[in-house]
Amino acid sequence: MKKLRIAQIAPLIESVPPKKYGGTERVVYYLTEGLVDRGHEVTLFASGDSVTRARLIAPLKQSLRLGRKVHSTTIMHMLMLSKVYEEMAGEFDIIHSHLEYLTLPYAIRSRTPTILTIHGRLDIPDYVDILKRYGSMAWVSISDSQRAPVPGINWVGTVYHGYPESLFGFNADPDDYFLYLGRFSEEKRPDEAIRLARACKIHLKLAAKIDPAEKDYFKAKVE
């Protein structure tokens, strides 16, 4: 197997891996460490409180959610992308961005190939428009069904969000409850989990963070 020089670009919102909540950053962590295990030369662009065996290049000392307040998270990410593509792109065989749409104006002009993994939903009109405009880029989905709103672009593969098997053990005799874990957000639909648990007459435990923008939804639909 050819050893590659790979750049991984992570969001700066959480560390890699995240201290608490942070689904995308956790996936980036396991992917990065797995590539290191396979002998590739990996550079991770992420916040300075990240922990990795790859080479870490950190534009910020601490992740944005837990660190200092900034006026624009977009500008922080643009500065990082500028460093990747304008200063260092020639050092890599391939760039893997997990910043999705912000990467596009940089990647489209770069001689170094970029793949872009979309970690979120695509059933939003604005997202569909930008994906179609840059449809020739190399896009990676996290499930085949995720592609449905934009089937005609250059999907190069599906890579499901995977975690080490050692993290979770199979329990043949489970307790009598369901578990909702993650984020209290309308797009995550914890209210639907509550409705289904009630319909099935099964106990439901919920453990999640609440962002300030979601407090009204939480009070109206979950609390």
3-state SS assignment for residue 209:
strand
Report pLDDT for 23: 87
Q: Identify the pLDDT of residue 7.
A: 99
**Domains of the chain, start order:** 5-158 (3.40.50.2000), 170-221 (no CATH)
Q: Do 12 and 64 form a contact (C-beta atoms < 8 A)?
A: yes
Phi and psi at 102, nearest 5°, equal: -60, -25
What is the distance between the alpha carbons of residues 117 and 112, in angstroms, rounded to a whole number?
Answer: 16
pLDDT at 107: 97
Where does the chain have alpha helices with state H? 23-37, 73-82, 104-107, 125-133, 190-200, 215-221
Lookup: tokens for 108 = 């489209």
d(CA 157, CA 18): 26
Contact 55, 43 (CB under 8 A): yes
pTM for the full predicted model: 0.89
**Residues of the chain with confidence (pLDDT) below 50:** none
Q: How far is CA 32 from the centre of its chain?
A: 13
Burial (CB count within 10 angstroms: exposed 0-12, middle 13-18, buried 19+), residue 54: buried
Which residues are paired to 8 by β-bridges? 44, 96
133: phi then psi, degrees, rounded to nearest 5: -65, -35
Residues 6+ apart with CB under 8 A from 31: 8, 96
Q: How many CA atoms lie within 13 A of 176 on its CB side?
A: 4
Q: How many Å apart are CA 24 and CA 31, to the nearest integer?
A: 11
